[in-house]
Amino acid sequence: MLIHHIMQPCMRIATLALSLALVACGALDVDTAPADFVVVDDPRIITEVRYYSADNFVGERIDGYLAPRVYMTRTAYTALLEVVEYLEGFGLGLKIFDAYRPQQAVNHFVRWAEDINDTRMKSRYYPIVDKSNLFCDGYIAERSGHSRGSTVDLTIVDLASGEELDMGTPWDYFDLSSWGAYADIGAEQRANRALLRSAMTRHGFNPITTEWWHFTFADEPYPATFFNFPVE
């Protein structure tokens, strides 16, 4: 009960700040897919849509994921294919975990985070973080850039084996060690993160501080629109 009371003020403050920001930028909610959303289907890109499965931090298929597909805006996807071509020269490729994320999926995350007793996936995805702090620490929010269609979660793979390069933590691992500039990992892991960041930024994507896998196309076509059509 004490944890619940500690969590609620933080959630209210975070929600209010986000709501004010969205009003200021004229954010829109849209339930239909525009024509310039495309399916990622390049054979050189591996996709592993864990939100379509139970292998994710919630532990069940996420609302809005009706098929193991990946959608992106056409402009972001075109830029991503340039990253693919760049990495091919090094015998490397990309694996995508998530890109477009329906708002209904984000809502699913919020409901799950509010149930602090559901910790079935804690040992794998957030062993150190107390679930009651997921809102305060910024791991869960009521809006996601993914819902705008030009954000992607990904890693680098070896083309010959299909194996992921060692980035120091898995994808969607809630911890400070997932920050892009986190230093207390091996030299090879730091180099792999730097390579991913360099490859993405040189082709127009911006990273975020807290997740080494998360990039948004800088010239995104829908910077204030949050889509809710399902992945199917």
Nearest to 232 by CA among 81, 63, 57, 73: 63
> Alpha-carbon distance 26 to 222, whole Å?
11
Compute the Cα dihedral for 38, 219, 176, 178 and give only its sign.
positive
Contacts of residue 169, defined as CB under 8 A and 6 or more positions apart, other chains included, come to 175, 177, 178, 212
Catalytic sites, residue numbers: 211
Nearest to 182 by CA among 204, 197, 200, 165: 197
145 and 139 in contact (C-beta within 8 Å)? no
